[in-house]
Amino acid sequence: MSRIFWTITLLLVLSGVARAEPEAALGEGRELFIARCSSCHSVDYIEMHARFGTRALWESQVTKMRNAYKAPMSDEDAKVIVDYLVRQYGPARTDLGQRTTPSNSISKTSVAPGLITGGAPRSP
Amino acid sequence: MEFNRRQTLLGLISATIGAAIGSIAGSAIAVAREVVAGLPGKVALHRLTHRPPNYETPIRYFRDTLTPNNAFFVRYHHAVIPSVSAPDFRLDIGGSVERPLILSLEDLRRDFPVVEVVAVCQCSGNRRGLFDPPVAGLQWGYGAMGNARWRGVRLADVLARAGLKSSALEIAFDAADAAPLEATPDFIKSLPISKALHPDTLLAFEMNGEPLPELNGFPLRLVVPGWTATYWIKHLNKIIALDSPEKNFWMSTAYRMPRSMFPLVSRFPSQESGERTPVTEIAVNSLITSMESDGSLIAGRSELRGIAWDSGLGIDRVEVSFDSGATWRRCELGEDLGPYSFRPWRANWPALASGQYEVWARAANRAGQVQVEKSIPNPSGYQHNAFHRVPVRVVA
Cβ within 8 Å, pair B82-A121: yes
Is B49 touching A (CB cutoff 8 A)?
Answer: yes
Q: Where in chain B is the domain with CATH 2.60.40.650?
A: 285-394
* Residue A118 confidence (pLDDT) above 60: no
Cβ within 8 Å, pair A70-B184: yes
- Environment class of B368 (CB within 10 Å of its CB; exposed 0-12, middle 13-18, buried 19+): exposed
Q: What's the CATH code, domain B285-394?
A: 2.60.40.650
Q: Which residue of A has its CA nearest to B54?
A: A45
Which chain B positions have a beta carbon within 8 Å of A2's beta carbon? none
* CA atoms of B73 and B126, how far apart (whole Å): 11
* Residue B48 confidence (pLDDT) above 80: yes
Distances (CA, A) of A60 to A55, A56, A79, B91: 8, 6, 12, 38
Q: How many CB atoms lie within 10 A of CB B32?
A: 6
Diameter of chain A measured on Cα atoms: 47
Interface of B with A in 207-246 (CB under 8 A): 214-215, 235, 237-238
First to last CA, chain B: 55
Q: What percent of chain B has pLDDT over 90?
A: 87
Q: What's the CATH code, domain B91-278?
A: 3.90.420.10
First to last CA, chain A: 14
Residues whose CB is less than 8 angstroms from the CB of residue B371 and which lie 6 or more positions away in sequence, other chains included: B283, B284, B285, B286, B362, B363, B364, B385, B386, B387
Which of the residues A48, A54, A59, A64 would you substitute to probe the B interface, choosing the one with the greatest number of B C-beta atoms within 10 Å?
A48
Q: How far is A63 from chain B (nearest CA, A)?
A: 13
**Would you say how long chain A is, in residues?**
124
What chain A holds in terms of domains, given with CATH numbers, is 23-102 (1.10.760.10)
Is B143 touching A (CB cutoff 8 A)?
Answer: no
Q: Which of B19, B79, B235 sits opposite A10 (nearest CB)?
A: B79
- pLDDT tens, residue by residue, B230-284: 999 999 999 999 999 999 999 999 999 998 888 788 999 999 988 899 999 999 9
* CA atoms of B306 and B132, how far apart (whole Å): 24
Q: Where in chain B is the domain with CATH 3.90.420.10?
A: 91-278
ipTM: 0.86
For A33-42, B16-25, B95-104, which range has the lowest pLDDT when averaged over its residues? B16-25
* Residue A108 confidence (pLDDT) above 80: no
